[in-house]
Every structure is written in structure tokens, then in C-alpha cells.
Amino acid sequence: MDTPISQNQNQPWSTLTPGNTASEVSKKPAVIYTIDAFNANAAARHLKIYDVESSALATAAATPKYRTGLPPGSKTITFPKGMKFNSGVFIRVVTEMADAGTTDPTVGETSISIVLKSSGG
């Protein structure tokens, strides 16, 4: 029998198809502890993470709370005390560094895994 994940447990989330259209990680406030990313392309990709309540707000016109480049290969980012998101967590991955970037990475070349904990109702 599966055990339901409570607010007090770390929760894994992942996608094999991140892109310009926002992916919902959590619609609730949350704390991110770890991000594992893989980029199979020879060129860097760019992860943008938004502190918003819906994907409609996580667009190229918005300012991410956190952004990082994804060079070719693997990258792990750890926040030992966590990074708090007060509204929700949505991500985008694009080929451009600029927040306004809208070019999707090629399908199958980038994966993102996040460990987070829900911190709200």
C-alpha cells in the first residue's frame, strides 16, 4: 500500500520534457532542497524557477525567483537550509539566458529533478 506524502515529507518531482511552457512543480508554497539537472546538448540550457501560483504567471514576461545555467552534462544544486517559495513552484527551461527567452530545448535532451517539501495548506 502506498503511503500518502504529507506536508512534512520531502517529495520528489521530475520531468524529462522541460521547456518554454511552464511546468508545475507545486501549486502550494514549498521549500526546494535539491535540483538535479542533465543537459545532453553541447550548448548550455537555462533553468528559470518562478514563485507563482499558476503557470499563466510563469512566462517569458515574468522575472524568475531563481535562474541557473545548465552546461552540458550533469549539475546538482543543493540548498542545505532550503529555498522557500511562498506561492508555488513552476519551472521553464529555454536555450537563451535572458528571462524573456522562449526557445524550447530539443525534446529528450534535458531533464530536471527536484526534491522539495510542501510548506503550506
- Convert the pLDDT of each residue in 14-50 to its tens digit: 999 999 999 999 999 999 999 999 999 999 999 999 9
For the chain, domains (ranges, CATH) are 10-118 (2.60.120)
Q: What percent of the chain has pLDDT over 70?
A: 92
Virtual CA dihedral for 114, 107, 97, 55, nearest 10 degrees? -60
Sign for the CA dihedral angle at 23, 105, 10, 29 comes to negative
